[in-house]
């Protein structure tokens, strides 16, 4: 007897290619996305972009492209060309300068089948303004640093105070003012300054992952014990309900998508926000190592897979101590950045 067997219909192969923009020194983030794809059993590549041929991350991804600065009118066109040629499904912006740009273009990329792990343009612009962000949070009932523009300072301002650029990053030009004389000096020295109350207490970063509708999926507070150039050098995870409640309050006061990091200090047992950055933090490797795999969550979200909240589920008390690593380039092996035109030749 001859049996006729109908061939089984093959399940579609799920694949995802990830683009990390302005990759620069973010080697751990590149490696984390590569590891997440492998752990999920999803075929895919991790592509990086940068403006500098000595970008370390360019040497740890599958391919890397040279693009103009995000302030260049042709920046998004270059990113779009790479997305088309490399069949990118997820873009991960990493620097403050480009967040509003990608936030404004997220719907256009979505129409092309590309998810962008970025909050809206409005949220990015609000967070970029350290004064406006704290005013907004306080109005929503969230514990945030009292903030003043120079013209708003009372005649007898509270000392000490903290002076920093209204729009800035990486603790550049941020100074404590411990006397009226220092306050006057830094107000003149810092460009477009904002003055915040001095929060004299332990400093924390709270890493948060939200889905694309703004629902928080994971919250991991980390104490910043040693900080160098605005980035954690030594620190540990802290499973503190007060810090996690603060993060939830922030996600209720603003609408986020993808990764964010909340900067705060605890004074008299009360955590108080002094800024929010709607992007991956420099200390994200500690959060990932503690079991909160944000890259894996983003990959699943980009593929339309369900991701349930796991708030509070991470390894508490895990310490991280950073150290510098050096790369060496032989002659002729320096520049791994491909021209954007190379992506066009890869277009199917």
The answer to whether residue 11 sits within a structural domain is no
Pairing of strands 63-66, 175-177: unpaired
In this model, does residue 133 exceed pLDDT 90? Answer: yes
In this model, does residue 185 exceed pLDDT 90? Answer: yes
Say how far residue 177 (Cα) sits from the centre of its chain.
29
In this model, does residue 335 exceed pLDDT 90? Answer: no
Q: Are residues 25 and 111 in the same domain?
A: yes
Q: Of 166-175, 216-225, 304-313, give the lowest mean pLDDT range.
A: 166-175
Q: How far apart are CA 340 and CA 54, in angstroms?
A: 17
Instruction: Please tell me whether residue 308 adopts helix, strand or coil conformation.
Output: coil
What's residue 324's pLDDT?
Answer: 83
Q: Are residues 187 and 214 in the same domain?
A: no
Q: Are residues 286 and 275 in the same domain?
A: yes
Mean pLDDT of 58-71: 96
Q: Are residues 204 and 314 in the same domain?
A: yes
Q: Are residues 204 and 258 in the same domain?
A: yes
In this model, does residue 5 exceed pLDDT 70? Answer: no
In this model, does residue 6 exceed pLDDT 60? Answer: no
Question: If pLDDT is split at 50, 70 and 90, which confidence band does 170 have?
Answer: low
The answer to whether residue 2 sits within a structural domain is no
The answer to whether residue 37 sits within a structural domain is yes
Mean pLDDT of 113-139: 98
Last residue of a domain, one of 166, 197, 228: 197
The answer to whether residue 102 sits within a structural domain is yes
In this model, does residue 7 exceed pLDDT 90? Answer: no
The answer to whether residue 76 sits within a structural domain is yes
- Per the structure, the complete domain to which residue 211 belongs is given by 124-128+200-321
Pairing of strands 231-237, 258-267: unpaired
For the chain, the domain total comes to 3
Question: If pLDDT is split at 50, 70 and 90, which confidence band does 8 have?
Answer: very low
Instruction: Please tell me whether residue 150 adopts helix, strand or coil conformation.
Output: helix
Q: Are residues 312 and 205 in the same domain?
A: yes
Q: Are residues 289 and 301 in the same domain?
A: yes
* Angle subtended at Cα 228 by Cα 226 and Cα 230, rounded to the nearest 5 degrees: 105
Nearest to 22 by CA among 105, 110, 85, 92: 92
Mean pLDDT of 156-179: 90
Q: Are residues 311 and 233 in the same domain?
A: yes
Instruction: Please tell me whether residue 221 adopts helix, strand or coil conformation.
Output: strand
Q: Are residues 87 and 161 in the same domain?
A: no
Which CATH number is 26's domain given?
3.40.50.20
Which CATH number is 151's domain given?
3.30.1490
Sign, CA dihedral 128-130-136-140, equals positive
Show the beta-strand stretches assigned E in 67-199. 88-92, 115-116, 147-148, 161-165, 175-177, 193-197
pLDDT digits (tens, 9 = 90+) for 236-281: 999 999 999 999 999 999 999 999 999 999 999 899 999 999 999 9
Q: Of 1-10, 42-51, 177-186, 204-213, give the lowest mean pLDDT range.
A: 1-10
Q: Are 81 and 340 in contact (CB under 8 A)?
A: yes
């Amino acid at each position: 007897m001859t049996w006729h067997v109908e061939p089984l219909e093959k399940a579609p192969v799920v694949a995802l290619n990830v683009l990390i923009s302005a990759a620069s020194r973010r080697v751990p983030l590149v490696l984390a996305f590569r590891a997440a794809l492998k752990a999920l059993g999803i075929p895919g590549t991790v592509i990086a972009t940068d403006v500098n041929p000595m970008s370390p991350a360019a040497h740890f991804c599958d391919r890397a492209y040279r693009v103009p600065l995000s302030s260049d009118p042709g920046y998004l066109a270059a990113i779009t060309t790479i997305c088309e040629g490399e069949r990118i499904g997820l873009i991960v912006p990493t620097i403050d300068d480009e967040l509003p740009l990608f936030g404004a273009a997220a719907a256009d990329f979505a129409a092309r089948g590309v998810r962008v792990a970025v909050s809206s343009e409005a949220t990015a612009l609000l967070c970029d303004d350290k004064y406006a962000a704290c005013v907004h949070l306080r109005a929503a009932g969230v514990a945030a640093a009292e903030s003043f523009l120079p013209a708003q300072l009372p005649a007898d301002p509270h000392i000490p105070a903290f002076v920093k650029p209204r729009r800035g990053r990486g603790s550049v030009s941020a100074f404590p003012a411990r006397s009226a004389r220092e306050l006057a000096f830094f107000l003149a020295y810092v460009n477009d300054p904002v003055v915040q109350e001095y929060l004299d207490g332990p400093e924390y970063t709270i890493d948060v992952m939200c889905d694309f509708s703004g629902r928080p999926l994971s919250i991991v507070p980390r104490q910043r014990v040693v900080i160098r150039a605005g980035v954690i050098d030594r620190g540990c995870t802290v499973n503190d309900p007060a810090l996690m409640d603060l993060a939830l309050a922030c996600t209720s006061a603003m609408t986020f998508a993808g990764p964010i990091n909340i900067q705060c200090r605890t004074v008299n047992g009360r955590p108080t926000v002094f800024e929010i950055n709607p992007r991956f933090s420099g200390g994200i490797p500690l959060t990932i190592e503690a079991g909160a795999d944000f890259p894996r969550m983003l990959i699943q979200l980009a593929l339309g897979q369900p991701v349930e909240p796991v708030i509070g589920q991470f390894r508490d008390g895990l310490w991280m101590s950073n150290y510098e690593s050096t790369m060496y380039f032989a002659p002729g092996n320096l520049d791994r950045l491909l021209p954007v035109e190379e992506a066009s030749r890869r277009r199917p």
